[in-house]
Amino acid sequence: MNLHVPPPSPRRPLHVRLATPRGFCAGVDRAIQIVERALEKYGAPVFVRHEIVHNRHVVERLKGLGAVFVKELDECPDDRPVVFSAHGVPKSVPATARSREMLFLDATCPLVSKVHVEAERHHAAGRHILLIGHAGHPEVVGTMGQLPPGAITLVETEEDAETVQRPGDAPLAYATQTTLSVDDTAGILAILKRRFPELPDPHKEDICYATTNRQEAVKRLGADCDLVLVVGSKNSSNSARLVEVAMRAGARDARLVDDASQVDWAWFDGVDTLGVTAGASAPEPLIEALIDAVRDRFDATVTEDDGARETVTFKLPRVLTA
């Protein structure tokens, strides 16, 4: 008996635009290399205080190589190396490591270290610092921990900027978390400048080049895409900001996904143009796997946007290259 088997339904066409730049930045690449080189040089285990970068896949891969992630130094033995995460640490952390005669490797992004140096310079000049950032983020904790308690006031929102008070008659300065939304930060700074005219003119130098470049690339996507998928982990500040920037730029929908397994294909109803990018701590293979999953379901045409070409690199600690 001949059964009529209908031909498979043709796959719906879909235009996929890949943002440039996307994924790893120089600071993230350096931090991961520090853990990998430490494991090669000293063997496992190598302890890492906090997640080296905010990406679940990166952390799990390094665990498989022998890295042990801890919250605080008191979980580390004295005789094994410990790496400080890319987000930076309060001054008390390396001070404690030195007092215990531990071998420690600082993977703080050099652009975060630059903010630390600026904060110390302002403090030495007698200025009180207004830090624009998100409470509890490791980078903010690290920056505030560079100075004595009370030397920095955190400003999270435009509402905070309208109400923050100068302590006494202290002159003011400001610094910013490196992974913020460029546009949100500009709004907060405009309010602070209006209230405290002696503040320097708003600038973007504290927000790192990689954050700025990825946000500019997503603005271009959001203006023309029905859906934007941002590959990155939920605790990644720069990844979360990309979702916000895409929506503000005009995308009908934007979602943050750790990887292709988190995609709900119902999001694609009515989607003709998909934008894809990744936060600065997300590896390129996750993006490639997402594109493969899209191709499995759609007749996808993939194009790569023009954007900034990043050539920045940061040196590794000398102890790992000698």
Active site residues: 139
Gap between the Cα atoms of 322 and 257, Å rounded: 39
Kindly list the distances between the CA atom of residue 166 and the CA atoms of 12, 126, 172, in Å, as whole numbers in the listed order. 59, 13, 8
Q: How far apart are alpha carbons 21 and 309 in whole angstroms?
A: 7
Specify burial of residue 264 (Cβ count, 10 A radius: 0-12, 13-18, 19+): exposed
Cα dist. 54→101, 164, 216, 281 in Å?
28, 30, 21, 6
> What strands lie across the sheet with 172-176, from one edge to the other?
152-155, 128-132, 172-176
Q: Which amino acid is at 311?
A: T
